[in-house]
């Protein structure tokens, strides 16, 4: 029997919605797209972001401390863990239901609460840039900064938000368990929200006040699982250069060299397409015959068939 091609799919925010009701609706569509690929004969591993969700959980935990002064503030790493379970709960149930609807009963679905190690010396900790949580007035931001030692920054005239570090992932702590589950035929959801950020201190893993970019974590997971393809799903069908300008050009295929040249020219926005392109380059160049694809969720099957999306190759 021919070995199935292994694909890591990194779900963007549009696959999950921004609120609990939106998420419960969104995961149904997401599940259909993922099970389409399973029916095509691919072995799929799922990762996802947690942007709105982790901010919502963090805000809820802050509200709790205001209501009950005996409640300590909840570390961001714990909020990430909560988001993994909260999203995984809806996503795995939607996938299980969709598999059952298509009479596929041989694939168990599981969410792996995943810790991802970062380096304590990562320069990202010195210059936090990742905004999370709700917008606040200057007065509210000053109070939160004083009470919780948060770093607050003004965000494009819309108010103040907390910013946290976004260090690079260097090790997936539960990788052996994830690999065993995948090799046993499970449909695994792992590295949610980029993983729970931890630093190693001897035998102890300590949660870090950070949010890991899910595209970089997905790239690391795909390499560790020896995947054939990394599929990064986002809000556009293809990658573009000169995005939003008169000479905007959508790209069907990108060699690693071409992509690196466009990076150097500053074509991709940080916090948006930049990490996706960087992750795609990293994975594609890590081993021969690996490809990365950036596209829309609803176009994922067509993209893997080579009909759309931006394909990265060596």
Q: Which of 51, 133, 214, 309 is catalytic?
A: 214
> Strands of 310-313's sheet, edge to edge?
109-111, 187-189, 43-48, 6-11, 229-234, 291-296, 310-313, 253-255
Residue with tokens 């795995």: 92
Between CA 310 and CA 292 the distance in angstroms is 8
How would you class 88 by CB atoms within 10 Å of its CB: exposed for 0-12, middle for 13-18, buried for 19 or more?
buried
Between CA 92 and CA 14 the distance in angstroms is 17
Between CA 254 and CA 298 the distance in angstroms is 21
Active site residue 13: yes
Q: Which of 55, 193, 276, 309 is catalytic?
A: 276
Q: Which of 13, 88, 133, 194 is catalytic?
A: 13
Residues 6+ apart with CB under 8 A from 5: 41, 42, 43, 228, 229
Give the pair of three-digit tokens for residue 158: 């819309």
**In contact, 7 and 45? CB cutoff 8 Å:** yes
Q: How many residues does the chain have?
A: 314
Q: Which of 130, 133, 195, 309 is catalytic?
A: 130
Angle 122-72-131 (CA atoms, 0-180°, nearest 5)? Answer: 40
Nearest to 272 by CA among 234, 216, 312: 234
**In contact, 26 and 16? CB cutoff 8 Å:** yes
Between CA 176 and CA 303 the distance in angstroms is 30
Active site residue 214: yes
Active site residue 257: no
Q: Which of 12, 14, 50, 309 is catalytic?
A: 14
Residues with catalytic roles? 13-14, 130, 214, 276
């Amino acid at each position: 029997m021919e070995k199935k091609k292994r694909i890591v799919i990194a779900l963007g925010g549009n696959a999950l919605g921004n609120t609990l009701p939106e998420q419960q609706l969104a995961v149904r569509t997401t599940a259909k797209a993922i099970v389409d690929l399973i029916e095509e004969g691919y072995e799929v591993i799922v990762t996802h972001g947690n942007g709105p969700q982790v901010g919502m959980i963090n805000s809820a935990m802050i509200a709790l401390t205001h209501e009950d002064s005996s409640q300590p503030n909840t570390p961001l790493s714990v909020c990430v863990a909560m988001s993994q379970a909260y999203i995984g709960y809806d996503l795995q149930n939607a996938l299980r239901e969709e598999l059952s609807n298509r009479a596929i009963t041989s694939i168990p679905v599981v969410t792996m609460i995943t810790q991802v190690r970062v380096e304590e010396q990562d320069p990202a900790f010195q210059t936090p840039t990742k905004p999370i949580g709700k917008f606040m007035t200057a007065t509210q931001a000053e109070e939160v900064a004083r009470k919780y030692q948060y770093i607050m920054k003004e965000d494009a005239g819309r108010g103040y938000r907390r910013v946290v570090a976004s260090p690079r992932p260097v090790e997936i702590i539960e990788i052996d368990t994830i690999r065993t589950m995948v090799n046993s035929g499970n449909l695994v959801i792992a590295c949610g929200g980029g993983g729970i950020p931890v630093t190693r201190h001897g035998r102890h893993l300590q949660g870090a006040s950070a949010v890991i970019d899910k595209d970089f974590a997905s790239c690391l997971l795909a390499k560790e699982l020896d995947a054939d393809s990394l599929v990064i799903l986002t809000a556009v069908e293809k990658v573009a250069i000169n995005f939003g300008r008169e000479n905007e050009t959508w790209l069907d295929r990108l060699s690693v060299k071409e992509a690196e040249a466009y990076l150097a020219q500053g074509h991709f926005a940080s916090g948006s397409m930049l990490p996706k392109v960087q992750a795609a380059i990293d994975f594609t160049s890590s081993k021969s015959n690996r490809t990365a694809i950036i596209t829309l969720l609803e176009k994922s099957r067509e993209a893997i068939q080579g009909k759309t999306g931006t394909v990265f190759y060596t």
